[in-house]
Structure 1
Amino acid sequence: METMDDFREELEASFKKIRVGDVVTGTVIDVTEDQVIVDLKTYADGVIRKEDLSEDPDFNMQDAVHPGDEITATVMATNDGEGNMVLSKKEANAVLAWDKLKKLMEERTVVKVKISEVVNAGAVAYLEGIRGFIPASRLSDEYVEDLKEWDGKTIEVTVITADEEERRLVLSGREPAREKKQAETNRKIEKCEVGAVMNGTVETIKPYGAFVALENGLTGLLHISQISTQRIKHPGAVLKEGQEVRVKILSTADNKISLSMKVLAEEAAEAESHSTYDYKEEGQASTGLAALLKNIKL
């Protein structure tokens, strides 16, 4: 049988004095066209008007807020004339968002944002209700030629600057894009079979070797020691950029592909040295005196 002790926590919460300026957390119990109703587990519900939910001009209340969601807001008034508290999530964001943004920056957390507009030298996106700037050089891991093509796109970003005093939030899509591409490359490398022989094209030549674009779309390193069976001082002595080569995969350790031309040359030489030729022996060998004098005319 239930007793008063079973409801002690709820009773204490219901009589808790809430003042203007307090930051409170409650559960969304209803979403209408112009406001959100929040259960604060106290003597009155909270009401957040649509315009007090976010500073993001593209914010869609019906898509972003649902019954059962937990929401934190600042108390703007303790009575709206109908017994409800007037709340503002925007005000709470101003207090709490920067702490969260700093945490996202420190932990290098990847989050999704929608680009709301394109401006000079970059784009604007809102994160935690705060206006953030994405430099053009940070939109992607590749050169961005036309910024307009990015307007309205949803991309993954990390926080690289979160300065509360200057209210300066800078985001970057370059790092997540690189990590995503590297992860995909690693998956492809895992499928590469050590010992496989492939065709490739020399992309770049360095003093220590050459990078070869393989037929499977990956790139491997052909170390200078694996280019020729003879010792060479520079890869350029044998190779040139754009040259088609045939290579063997030696290793995929640490998600790096090591290649060799030398091994193929050595294997070809060894195979040739062990080759045998079929022949038929006709007649019989003889060293007798009669055989020696047979065709001599006296």
Structure 2
Amino acid sequence: MMDEMNVTNEVIEETAAAPVETMDDYAGEIDSSMRSINVGDILEGTVVGFTDTEVTVDLQYAAEGIIRAQDYSAEPGFSIKENVHAGDTVKAVVVKLDDGNGNILLNRRQASEALAWEKFEQQLEDKETIDVTVKEAVKGGVVTYIDGVRAFIPASKLALDYVEDLNTFVGQTIPVRIIQAEREGKKLILSSRDVLRERRAEAKAARIAAIQEGAVLDGKVDSLQTYGAFISLGDRIDGLVHISQITNTKRLKHPKEMLNVGDEVKVKVIGVKDGKISLSMKALEEVPESAKPAARERDRDREHGREREEKIEIPKSEKLTTSLGDLLKGIKLN
């Protein structure tokens, strides 16, 4: 008897401890199920089932939503069984309030496009970088899809260099940026080259910033100008050896007096500023102590863009005039 009473008391305690549900707890669901829905509305729901031909969506409404396979996605190769999963959240536009079976007929493609174009316009303005997968190669470029909308990447905007075979990009995921978005004409143009060019420039700037002043590097003469020689340091980085920094041995009128394009040289970094590298060859030369003052003075003249003038001294004459008697002195007349 006591055992029965204990069990009863436990049940009473558990019942008392359990929260009591009221109509207020279902107010949101009730309001949702009774809301007004019209053709053209964009609704959000959860995938609760699917077949080969259609997807069933819970709209938290008196009726469920149905999306036919052809209205779900326009992407080539789309398959409900492979690309749709129970629990997926979808947005779709109302096409019919009753499909003939008591369900609301929806179109996800239309909703996706309407929402997507708003996003595309914002991404164009923000110059946002997005990743896409190339689906197919066509004449003049490749095709991809963003949020179910077909987008075109011209061959000239696909890579940094010329692309001979567009098919090599099919299946690749690449970074792109929207460069044209026309909602009315449904024209969505992308560029990967712009993104790659920016990333290359950023990487180059980082490599230049890592070069320390005083470092001694190997390089190759890339070009000669009247004011100096450009030296390739590899990895798309170059620096300038000003004509005054080529040698201590003599004054040069042109770098070609000592250098040729293609020469391999050793240089010292004497400055890195605003992404430009200043180099010196003469800093690695051994200069006799006696020649150093003259070399420094020569450098100052070069830096100020002037040639040093030689001073010529005219010996002073004891007499600036000569008399006639002096000229005839020593001459014998017969």
1:219 paired with 2:237, answer yes
1:133 offset after TM fit, Å? 1.8
1:180 paired with 2:199, answer yes
1:71 paired with 2:90, answer yes
Correspondent of 1:269 among 273, 280, 286: 286
1:193 offset after TM fit, Å? 3.5
Give the secondary structure class of the aligned counterpart of 1:269. coil
Report how many residues are paired. Answer: 269
Contact 1:201 1:212 (C-alpha < 8 Å) held by counterparts: yes
1:257 offset after TM fit, Å? 5.1
Counterpart in the other structure of 1:5: 24
d(CA) in 1 for partners of 2:244, 2:69: 67
1:244 paired with 2:264, answer yes
Q: Write out the 4+ residue segments of structure 1 that deviate beyond 6 Å after TM superposition.
A: none
Q: Give the TM-score, by structure 1 length.
A: 0.77
Counterpart in the other structure of 1:296: none
Q: How does 1:1-298 map to 2 (within 5 A)?
A: 1-30=20-49, 32-62=51-81, 64-205=83-224, 210-215=229-234, 217-224=235-242, 227-229=245-247, 238-254=258-274, 256=275, 258-262=277-281, 265-270=282-287, 272-273=288-289
1:137 offset after TM fit, Å? 0.7
RMSD: 2.9
Give the secondary structure class of the aligned counterpart of 1:132. strand
d(CA) in 1 for partners of 2:37, 2:159: 46
Which deviates further from its counterpart, 85-94 or 74-83? Answer: 74-83
d(CA) in 2 for partners of 1:170, 1:52: 24
Contact 2:130 2:177 (C-alpha < 8 Å) held by counterparts: yes
Give the secondary structure class of the aligned counterpart of 1:241. coil
Which deviates further from its counterpart, 181-190 or 68-77? Answer: 181-190
1:132 offset after TM fit, Å? 1.8
1:236 offset after TM fit, Å? 5.1
Counterpart in the other structure of 2:308: none
d(CA) in 2 for partners of 1:147, 1:39: 42
d(CA) in 2 for partners of 1:153, 1:164: 26
Residue-by-residue CA offset, 1:230-251 (whole Å, 9 max, x unaligned): 7766655554432212122334
Which deviates further from its counterpart, 62-71 or 152-161? Answer: 62-71
d(CA) in 1 for partners of 2:52, 2:214: 64
d(CA) in 1 for partners of 2:128, 2:179: 10
Contact 1:194 1:250 (C-alpha < 8 Å) held by counterparts: yes
d(CA) in 2 for partners of 1:168, 1:81: 36
Counterpart in the other structure of 2:316: none
d(CA) in 2 for partners of 1:76, 1:22: 9
Q: Percent identity?
A: 37
Residue-by-residue CA offset, 1:155-192 (whole Å, 9 max, x unaligned): 21111010112221111110121233334434444543
d(CA) in 1 for partners of 2:131, 2:62: 37
Q: 1:10 and 1:191, CA in 2 relative to 1: closer, same or farther beyond 3 A?
A: same
Give the secondary structure class of the aligned counterpart of 2:261. coil
d(CA) in 2 for partners of 1:212, 1:158: 34
Residue-by-residue CA offset, 1:40-73 (whole Å, 9 max, x unaligned): 2222222222221222213354554444433211
Q: 1:32 and 1:2, CA in 2 relative to 1: closer, same or farther beyond 3 A?
A: same
Note the residue ranges of structure 2 that are not aligned, 5 or more in a row. Answer: 1-19, 291-334
Note the residue ranges of structure 1 that are not aligned, 5 or more in a row. Answer: 275-298
Q: 1:142 and 1:95, CA in 2 relative to 1: closer, same or farther beyond 3 A?
A: same
d(CA) in 2 for partners of 1:225, 1:32: 77
By relative contact order (CA 8 Å, sep 6+), the higher-ranking structure is 1
Q: Which amino acid aligns with 2:189?
A: V
Q: Give the TM-score, by structure 2 length.
A: 0.69
1:3 offset after TM fit, Å? 3.3
Residue-by-residue CA offset, 1:123-143 (whole Å, 9 max, x unaligned): 222222222221111001112
The structure with the larger Rg is 2
